[in-house]
Amino acid sequence: MTEGIFDSIPNDVLKICQRLRDEGQRGWVVGGCVRDLLRGAPAKDWDIATDAEPKRVQKLFRKVIPTGIKHGTVTVLMSGTPYEVTTLRGEGAYEDGRRPTSVVFLQDITEDLARRDFTFNAIALDPLDRQIIDPFGGERDLRDRRLRAVGDPHARFCEDGLRILRAARFAATLECEVDPATLLAMGAPEPLATLAKVSAERIHDEWLKTMRATRPSIAFDLMQTRGVMTIIAPELAALADAPAWTRGLRAMDDLGGAVRRLAALLAGLGAESAEGLLERLKFSNDHRKAITMAIAHHDVDPSLEGPDLRRWLQSVTAAHLDDAVAVACALSDDRDPIDALGARARAELEAAVPLTTKDLAITGKDLMTELSLKPGPQLGVLLKGLLEACIEDPSTNTRARLLERARREAR
C-alpha cells in the first residue's frame, strides 16, 4: 500500500536528493507532505531534510534563496518551484561532533524526527532507497487516526506552546482522536503557561488553517474543554456553558469559508466583543469587517419586508448580505423563514432599489443647478430625505419625481 507513495514524489525532489547523494550527502522527504502522502491526500510544500550544511546546499544548487540560513533552511528552486532544504537539526547527544560514521545518517535523521511535534509529522522518506523511516509509529497512528506527541507530551508542549494549537488543528483537519496522554498534557498548567507566550499572529494563522477542516468544531471544542480558550480568548471561554457556544460550533461545521465559520463561532459574543477579539488576534480589516457585519445582522427578524426590509438591507449592505443570511440560517432552528428573507432581500437588490444617496436618480449637483442651491449641509439633508422617500417607495426614484419632491421640501 505504501509502495505507491514513492511514485508520487515529484521528479525535482528526486533530483535534489540524487544531487546530494552524488556529493556524499543525504536527503529525505519530511514533514507534512509525508503525512499527506501516507493518508492519500495531495501533498503541498515538499520539504527536504539533509545532512549537508546550509552553505554546502547553497553551493550544490544553481538557484537558491537563503531563506533561513540561521535555522538551516535553504530554498532550492527547481524550474521555478521552491523546495525547502533544511539541515538536520537535533537537540542532543550528537551535536558535539562525535558522529558515528556508517550509521550516522540513520541516527541523524531519527534525531531530527525526534524534535518534531506529532508522530505522523515525524516520518521521513528516503526517496532513492524507497525507505520509510518511522521511529515513533507515525504511520500506525495515522492509520488508527490517533494524534500523539513525539516523546513526553507534557515536556513537548512545555517547549513550545504553539504545539497545543497545532494539536487541536490536526485533530480537526485529520479527524483524529487525541491520544489520552497527549490530551491530558494539552490542558495541563505548565503547557498552558507556555501557550500564553505564543504570539497573536501565530494563533491567527492556526485558526485560519483550522477553518479548512471539514469540521473545525473538533478543534474549537478541544480548545474549550482543554482550557486553551481561557488563555487565548477568555471571552469565548466565558461562553463555554451557554447554548450559543454549542450552537456556534454546530453552525460552523455547516458553513463554508473562514468568514462565515468565524461569524458563527463568535456570534454569541455579539459584534462588538467579537471585533475586540479579532483585532487582538490580528485579523485583517477585511476579515474583521465581514465577520462582525455577519454577526451584527444574523439576529434578523425573518418577517421583515417592504421599507423595513430595505432599511435592514441598508445596514447589512449588499456586500455582506449573503454571509449574514447564511450565518443566520446555520444558527437558527428554523431556517426556512430566514432563507425566504434572504430571497426577498436579493430580489430588492436585483430590482436595484436605492440604498444610498449615490443610488438616487439625481445627484447633489443636479439639485444645486435645478434649485439654485449652494453647497452645504442643507444639500445633504435634502438628499437623505429623498433617499428615505425611496426606501418607503422605490418607484419614487425617477429624476422627475425626485426633483418635484426636492422643490417642495426646499421651499
Contact footprint for Mg ion (CB under 5 A): 32, 45
**CA neighbor of 133 nearest in space, from 152, 158, 114, 156:** 114
205: contact with ligand ATP by CB under 6 A:
no
Is residue 210 part of the contact set for ligand ATP (CB under 6 A)?
no
Interface residue with ligand ATP among 48, 61, 108, 116 (CB under 6 A) is 116
Residues 129-168, mask of contacts with ligand ATP (x by CB under 6 A): -------------------------------x-xx-----
The binder of 308, among Mg ion, ligand ATP, none, by C-beta within 5 to 8 A per type, is none
Residue 48 or 294 having the CB closest to ligand ATP: 48
Q: Which helix (H) or strand (E) holds 91?
A: none
Find the helix packing angle between 336-350 and 306-331, rounded to 10°.
130
Amino acid at 169: R
Nearby residues of 38 by Cβ (< 8 Å), 6 or more positions away: 2, 5, 120, 123, 139, 142
Q: What angle do CA 186, 191, 194 make, to 5 degrees?
A: 135
Contact range with ligand ATP by CB under 6 A, out of 61-69, 115-123, 215-223, 342-350? 115-123
Q: Which are the contacts of 1, defined by CB distance < 8 A and separation ≥ 6? A: none
Q: Considering the complex, what minimum distance in angstroms separates the CB of residue 165 from ligand ATP?
A: 9
DSSP annotation of 242? S
Q: Which is nearer to Mg ion, 166 or 226 (CB)?
A: 166
Give the span between the Cα atoms of 159 and 180, in whole angstroms: 19
Nearer to ligand ATP, 116 or 320 (CB): 116
Which of 186, 127, 121 lies closest to 158, judged by CA? 186
201 counts as binding ligand ATP under rule CB under 6 A:
no
The one-letter code for the residue type at 182 is T
Q: What stretches of 27-100 show up as alpha helix (H) in DSSP?
A: 32-38, 54-60
| 217 is a site residue for ligand ATP (CB under 6 A) | no
Closer CB to ligand ATP, 30 or 60, in the complex: 30
The interface partner of residue 116, options being ligand ATP, Mg ion, none and the CB cut-off 5 to 8 Å by kind, is ligand ATP
Extract the C-alpha cell encoding 43. 501533498
Binding partner selected for residue 226 from ligand ATP, Mg ion, none, CB under the kind-specific 5 to 8 Å limit: none
- Nearest CB to ligand ATP, comparing residues 43 and 274: 43
Q: Rounded to whole angstroms, what are the CA distances from 279 to 183, 199, 288? A: 29, 13, 7
CB of 207 to Mg ion, least distance (A): 17
Q: Which is nearer to ligand ATP, 160 or 366 (CB)?
A: 160
- Kindly state whether residue 172 participates in binding ligand ATP, applying the rule CB under 6 A: no
Q: Does residue 32 touch ligand ATP according to CB under 6 A?
A: yes
Whichever of 74 and 239 has its CB closer to Mg ion, that residue is 74
Q: Round to whole Å and give the CA distance between 327 and 316.
A: 13
Integer Cα distance of 273 and 292 in angstroms? 9
Binding site for ligand ATP (CB under 6 A): 31-32, 45, 47, 116-117, 121-122, 160, 162-163, 209
